[in-house]
Structure 1
Amino acid sequence: MNAPDRYERFVVPEGTKKVSYERDTKIINAASFTIEREDHTIGNILRMY
């Protein structure tokens, strides 16, 4: 098949962080978080808060 393996959607490759944090230089006390290889469930949890 041409489809990628199912585990590749959730397993983070070596050398890649699961969560990365980048401070915003324009706004005080602000940052951007990047979450790798998660489905919509984590987005729904974050949206609740």
Structure 2
Amino acid sequence: MSPSGLFYENSAARCHLVVGVIKVVFVERMVFYGNFLRSNVNMRIEST
């Protein structure tokens, strides 16, 4: 296998890994903010 081919495989795998990490972080943030907003709304409803 040529070095350039190996480099391409490596960068493609790295790109895939980065995209996967970003997806996980994004989903976790969405879930966290969703729970945070929901608890805030619940507290406001209970306080009134």
TM band (smaller chain): under 0.3
The structure showing larger relative contact order (alpha-carbon pairs under 8 Å, at least 6 residues apart) is: 1
Q: TM-score, normalised by structure 1?
A: 0.27
More helix by share: 2
Q: TM-score, normalised by structure 2?
A: 0.27
Which has the greater radius of gyration? 2
More strand by share: 1
